[in-house]
Structure 1
């Protein structure tokens, strides 16, 4: 009789389209068999009766160990991926930022050297391109795609920081990506308007965290969203808009999708949970991220698009900074390092939305796992099916959980999710068949995570 490494028995498997009672057997890190009743020997048999058996989430947007705003984001690759494992995220996508003179592969490989030692879950990378190096980057993109780096990010903002691309550079990158079966991801906000409002508010002595939102309101993001979508439609090139937060820009994306454009939309849990009112709180600076949380109308539009299938993915933009670093801006919002935590909260938050009937469990799996794997060419990820990596999350629908800095696994000294009550919570995470999280405890090993080589998009 065949022996498996692991059999998960009596659970309800959830895919992006259906749920069914099914045993899942794992061998050599892969899902080897699925059947109503698997009678076989295994090194471990786990009884998941009454529990959901889900594919691990893929967080398509994280910034671990990222230099920004005069410091470095609070989670090292080790701490950030440990937190990921404990929230049921089994693959993270990081965003290394290229600076003048740097090559894509040189930058990615320098990050891989650290990740090989520290990563507690699997990892992929989208490289942020800020400089074409006199065309060398356009050449190098072909080799990068061959090595499984099939997405590149452009900032339409951070002009003064030297990270912004202009429309000409953006168009060249979009066309080159299309040619190679790759895709451009875009952070869309208008820098000139942000600069105008920032200078105006500072000169008027308006310096609180509220003015972070007021200097980057809905229409400032929407203009850049619309511009990005305009180029995607007219260049006939694929486009992935990261951290969508505003109604007007979202509507432009939905219209483009309905016209058949290759446009994908990501949003984040913080935009689904909080509105700009958080910036009026005493600890408002802890919520400062870019783009900021927006008004209620934008949040309602995001939830509507989550429900009707017009948002493709939910990711976190995990980029945490310690509260004492956030305090640098208590008298000047421009000095607050931008970013919030979320990698450990992504899947539990979206699954709680499913458990409360806001969306289906299948939709939560689609948004956090299946769609991400499909869009970004992670062929072995994103679903519970034979042949895929055994990245599996066991979810207890009846477990009540209150998020607190004390029960998170990041290196951060606070969380914007403090006190948030969830009904239902992940109780176990497997990475390629290895238990990495068990009922509140990280039980994995730094260095267990592997690089995910991604497939190019089909034309």
Structure 2
């Protein structure tokens, strides 16, 4: 064997048990007590947890937005992912009018083949059907391993929004192909109405970013998206859920047997809209914004009861000087925050402090994302799976500072966050990429994950 991890507590979505894991050729080849045999490298994980690598299925790396480009390149973002125990990232390339799905995807692959420090996949954002050509091309995209597509119900002025008819066509086409549509749900007309009012009144601080996109503005679009998906009997995945009312609509649809999946993000679990009243409130501006305490409590309850399926980050950081563009006008603040390196440590800290189980964290951050998005070789520690492995020390205390992160941004909303327990090693297909605080992998190690259509939970 190439690698033998001994005496750790293996955590799956269903159970935990002490065993050894043997790795050869990038795959898990053995799990059991007291494994023996010729081994190149032995790691003693006594007293530590051994987890499947996380899948962050929502990142925006090197993404043009708000007059700039998100601060993390593909190299920096995947390096940070590795150092937080994320072994596969999903990026969101955006197709614009006249562009093809595979053309956009292949242009990103050309960069990632040299820069990726962890494995990677794509959801393609569809903004224009190109007279129906995109509906035809979706079949070729699915055959190429792109089995999920995103629709924005917002960003009308940026020419990224789809109307209800386009959403319906995409839902039906995805259903036909065994693919799934991801939806960013907010109502752009209400947002524009609120923004016009606040600017006219001279209300320009970051607090009005939240007030322009309050709970009910997100909830309306959540409910509309779920309405179309359930009546068309098509699967749907709601990204970055942040509000109680929209969440409740998803839960009701789930209870009725509809294929509705819900993602939330660590920032909505940790922060409320009160951050926008802070002096540095502009640094927390993202869309949808953090909401009130009632919504936050509803998200945590849905995590505990199983009605939220995944936790991902919407990682889209910008530099502080770019955030400062909106110091006197919240509409000029580039929308997005950091998170890819904080996802797994944050959720595992919640387990380590008794808020939920370690098995549930694995389910939310690894197993469910892999199943929903067709990553058959990811998401669990089992024989035949990729050896994407995280070793976690429950006793290691860690405080987040921008200086000990591994991205290219100059600030983080997680500054000063204290965590009890932290990853000490990350392996991608058996390759050590993170070791006790240091990135030890190499750009270009990551591989494209070709996904399968229609894997049911």
TM over 0.5: yes
1:198 aligned partner: 195
Q: How does 1:42-191 map to 2 (within 5 A)?
A: 42-191=39-188
* Alignment of structure 1 residues 337-352 onto 2, 5 Å: 337-352=334-349
Contact 2:374–2:455 (8 Å) recurs in 1: no
Q: How far apart are the structure 1 equivalents of 2:300 and 2:29?
A: 37
**Most deviating of 117-126 and 36-45:** 36-45
Separation in structure 1 between the aligned mates of residue 455 and residue 66 of structure 2, nearest angstrom: 38
* 1:380-395 pair list within 5 angstroms: 380-395=377-392
* Alignment deviations for residues 375-409 of structure 1 (CA, whole Å, 9 cap, x no partner): 00000000000000000000000000000001000
Q: Distance in 1 between matches of 2:205 and 2:153?
A: 25
Answer whether contact 2:261 2:309 (CA < 8 A) is retained. Answer: yes
Distance 1:449 1:27 in 2: 17
Give CA-to-partner distance per residue, 1:419-446, whole Å, 9 cap, x none.
Answer: 0000000000000000000000000000
Partner SS, residue 394 of structure 1: strand
Match for 1:266 among 263, 269, 272?
263
Q: Deviations over 1:348-381 (max 9, x none)?
A: 0000000001000000000000000000000000
The residue number in structure 2 matching 1:293 is 290
Q: Is 1:11 equivalent to 2:4 in the alignment?
A: no
Structure 1 residue 40, shift from structure 2 partner = 1.4
> Residue 329 in 1 paired to residue 308 in 2?
no
User: Match for residue 428 of structure 1?
Assistant: 425
C-alpha distance in structure 2 between counterparts of 1:412 and 1:426, whole Å: 21
SS of residue paired to 2:169: helix
Structure 1 residue 182: Cα displacement: 0.3
- Decide whether the 8 Å contact of 2:242 with 2:296 is kept in 1: yes
Matched, 1:219 2:219: no
Residue 447 (1) aligns with residue 444 (2): yes
Aligned-pair CA distance for 1:458 = 5.2
Whole-angstrom distance in 2 between the partners of 1:14 and 1:69: 41
Unaligned stretches of 5+ residues in structure 2:
none
Offset of 1:39 from its aligned partner? 1.3
Which of 317, 331, 355 in structure 1 is aligned with 2:352?
A: 355
Shift of 1:37: 1.1
In the TM superposition, 1:246-265 aligns within 5 A as: 246-265=243-262
2:287 aligns to what SS in structure 1?
coil
Which of 26, 29, 54 aligns to 1:29? It is 26
8 Å Cα contact 2:27-2:383 kept in structure 1:
yes
Compute the displacement of 1:36 (Å): 1.1
Cα-Cα RMSD: 0.5
Measured against aligned partners, the alpha-carbon deviations of 1:327-363 in whole angstroms (never above 9, x if no partner) come to 0000000000000000000000000000001000000
TM-superposed deviation, 1:194:
0.1
For 2:40 and 2:445, the matched residues in 1 are separated by: 20
Q: Give secondary structure in 2 for the equivalent of 1:362.
A: helix
Distance 1:84 1:458, change over 3 A: closer
Q: How many residues align?
A: 456
In 1: Cα distance, 2:448 partner to 2:18 partner: 32
Separation (CA, whole Å) in 1 of partners of 2:250 and 2:286: 22
The runs of 4+ residues in structure 1 deviating greater than 6 Å are: none
> Which SS does the other structure have where 1:327 is aligned?
helix
Instruction: Find the residue that maps to 2:87 and give its secondary structure.
Output: strand
Q: Distance in 2 between matches of 1:60 and 1:37?
A: 35
Partner of 1:410: 407
Shift of the alpha carbon at 1:207?
A: 0.1
Deviation at 1:60, TM superposition (A): 0.5
8 Å Cα contact 2:371/2:455 also seen in 1: no
User: Structure 1 unaligned runs (5+)?
Assistant: none
Matching residue of 2:226: 229
Secondary structure of 1:436's counterpart equals: strand
**Separation in 1, partners of 2:170, 2:412:** 36
SS of equivalent to 1:134:
helix
Deviation at 1:41, TM superposition (A): 1.7
